[in-house]
Amino acid sequence: MGAGSKTRVWRSVRLGVLAMAVPALLASCKDGGYGGKQEVAAAASCPEGFGWAEGLQAYLDPDATMPTAMSADADDCLFNQWSWEAFVWANAPVDGKPRFLSWQVPDDLVADPRDVPRTSLLRLDAHMKPIHPGIGTSNQDSAIVEADGSMLIGQNGYPVYASIHMTPNYFAVAKRNLIATGAYESNPDQDDYFSVGDAIVKATWYRLAAGETAPAGAYTTQAEVPVLQNNCNATGCAVVPSGKYEVVTVALVGMHVVGYVDNHPEFLWATFEHKLNAPMFADNSFSFDANASNPGNFTFYKAGTPYSQSALLVETNTNPATVAFDVATGKFSPATQIVQMNRTGGDTQPNGPSNITAINVASQKAVRQFPEQFAAAIL
């Protein structure tokens, strides 16, 4: 059990620049390689504050607020401690589900008369570039892709989905400043901005196939996902949402936690990854090697897959297309094989990777003492 954090300062001016890639999120001391004596010793002064990790339990309170205390000259260790505080707060069980699932989502910002009426279930829409060239190559609403334009395909053939969740005031500020609806132009307060305590979460979800077991310890829930179809003409086909949804089981495999704290209007963000997502490597230690591989199976890595560029760097948004779509099953192939080349995200701060390791080890130990309901909600 456990999760791992990486924190960065994220500079944002207005809603329009808000974009986060799918996925990167919860990592463990066992599978992530955290907890080496040499690394932890290098960060002997981190975490800062006696009993800091034990204090994480306070963020489980249903009435707890996002941690916001942060000095203007806070060091790397304090930023990374914030990441765990914010993570526990966002995932605290409230009314039987993680706190962040009660927040508002982008679909609440603008009503679209074409939308299928929503239920109380989590809805994971398909907003993606076309997988196949041809129809709709300029349409941004036809595929599920990451920041590089490629789609992440699970070992079971289903695409990986993402959702965004906003705290009430964050949502209100965003709605007042939407350019698409003209709200920004009509807003009399042109200096309108977010407030300390505002937060947003981007969660990443792995769709389970019928009868498939979720990654060990992962939080699962029911969700609506779009039924995809081929839209073809004489020049080719594009995979697009059909306008229909089906209810499936999804597992939480990653999360970005973003928050506005004291003295840092640029926002902070932290990334967590499920412990069984993929093999991990210490920063700057990975090299492509067709003769090397991992013997274990991970959620996004098949045992024995060579650590070669041809096996790991497969783009899906290419012309001609490198993936196939089976409309009968709703699955894609081939699956995407993943390794995490820099397990701390390339932290360049003094003792940065060691700070992250020490905080993860301390936090994971504390989380294991939390009520079972919390552990089930995040791991």
324/173: higher pLDDT: 173
What SS3 class is residue 163? strand
Which structure tokens are listed for 100?
Answer: 């962040």
Predicted confidence at residue 10, as pLDDT, reads 34
For residue 314, the one-letter residue type is: V
Residue 22, judged by CB atoms within 10 A of its CB (0-12, 13-18, 19+), counts as: buried
Over residues 310-336, the pLDDT tens digits come to 999 877 766 566 788 899 999 989 999
- For 256, the domain range is 4-378
237/205: higher pLDDT: 205
Q: What is the CA 57 to chain-centroid distance, rounded?
A: 23
Instruction: Give the β-pairing of 199-207 and 220-233.
Output: unpaired
The 8-class DSSP code of residue 100 comes to G
Q: Tell me the C-alpha distance between 149 and 355, whole Å.
A: 32
Domain count, the chain: 1
- Residue 138 scores a pLDDT above 60: no
Q: What is the CA 44 to chain-centroid distance, rounded?
A: 30
Q: Tell me the C-alpha distance between 85 and 161, whole Å.
A: 25
Over residues 238-287, the pLDDT tens digits come to 777 788 899 999 999 999 999 999 999 999 999 999 989 999 998 889 99
316/379: higher pLDDT: 316
| Prediction pTM value | 0.83
